[in-house]
Structure 1
């Protein structure tokens, strides 16, 4: 019997390793991306607009806080399903995945993991429904890779806290109804739920971006903001709080860029089959075939890496170093593929009529945020040598 042709974007038939529920999640989000995201996202990127009209639909599909328990209005998906959500959303655009990632892993997760039961019941159902949007305030203007050096502080004042400081590069900042803000206190770093409208709390959108243009990025400012004790996350102190959130978000990021790479690879492969130079399609040349084959190889390796990471997560044994390795590998894979695809497209590749330049520009942010490539390399280096080089 002749061999069955392989799927160029799934050469190792990873889909067969997914459960029926995981395949259903992937198909549902893929359909949403194809029908609702892709028709508008190029224009949104050009205009620097986040498509807020998609938020209710994402909520309806259970994509906000998707891996949190159903008792809080969430979908209760496993880790692999959440990863597939990220992959399919980022196949559309990193900005769409970033919105869902911040809402889910950086805002809803800390309320669930570190908050009181009252806080969970108050906020999580509304956030899952897309009626309350959150942002995550950790990075500060003077530097992001050393969060222990934060200047933002909160001081006790009777039954309240007085918050002062600033945060920078905050996804969803000007969309948000609440901000999960991390601040130095006399008892170490603690988290606070800061609500929009609290006197002294302002958000300022960052403009002139060449990356993540279909995403809202902001600076947050806190000038003697009075935060009630009831808004303090009571169940964590120290850096392990925000770093635990980042581990959750970085896990999703290991999957997301796979989607960006697949989008670039698929479009460029079709272009190469139809672009004729010197009386034959450029896909018939060894130079282009070698480039496309190498992309398929790197996508396959990234898929296997994230799938195994997801299985470890669902067993409860995933380690932060393993997340760092996958974030480093997979984002580097995607940005290199996006740039190579842009090159194969030639002059056509510099416009947002084709997706590679948009993904390449977005991935310049993804490779930097939530741990730069260098930071993740050093995390792995520390693991293999036992020596901290930070």
Structure 2
């Protein structure tokens, strides 16, 4: 589908917006103001495109922060969801369902691990991994009660629960939410030596994003993750890789850590695991790690529910074929080259791997938020972070023509 044949950029925000403004007003009046979204009200979507309540179409280059990796309403996934809706959706974990065993078996195999702890949201997966690491420290490593520490990286984003923001260095995420959970040590991202210096006999885990997404798609030095992996092995410390945004095909591999040949002790997964249909997350590890959990120590009413397990299994099978990773590599190379071609023309830097890029905008262009609004007016959806950075993360089904069109829109906005 030719993007320019189905979108009139001249419409922008000057077109009729009564329905849009009405819906935005309703949200502003009755929904908590914990987001500052672009003034776009989605009504339907397909593939890489979103249509708003007035019929304007937008190329989605955010993909719900990688939750829609396989495209909006992917027919393979929606067919599975529809079929499951007609049979069984929720049992709780008080007894078994016929979908959970298949999901956990196939996800464990995809990750090369023994066991899966199914949860719902990415933040739940991270919280669960933190609990598992502390329990492993107590039961296996022999760390004294209440002495365990976990090393994290500056600039991290793992969610917004109280424990997770306790080790965030984002003042907006922390301000007014104390007191905070102890037991975390923050070191600079990309500095393996700093991790080595921070480890002591009470350290149970190192928690890292292989690529920091919220921080602006920061790719670490090539020797960083391998050095951290060797260090954790030598010091008997668990390496936890948060692949909630970076994983499941986004960077051209099933897991971003594969770019450096690294296998962590624990994966935390989410977002795309639910296929853009239902919240699905998971902690994936070997039996000697996840086996520390016993009945009653951790749980979730909705975690691993039949609908989530059915959709999650379909996602795992799609990834096992490898075609989406290949699309991310091919189209990602095109996206990275196109964006890097704008350096010096309103862009100061581009970072990323696969179909994931952080684009630093020259402050003279008005800042990331202003540029993202101008792009939305032309039918291109991206989101700013940290002031002057735009994140590009289109669904993996995006076409070559659509990528060229997206880069052209950014070029034209910056030139204007």
- Band of TM-score, shorter chain: under 0.3
TM-score by length of 1: 0.27
TM-score by length of 2: 0.26
Greater helix proportion: 1
Higher relative contact order (CA 8 A, sep 6+): 2
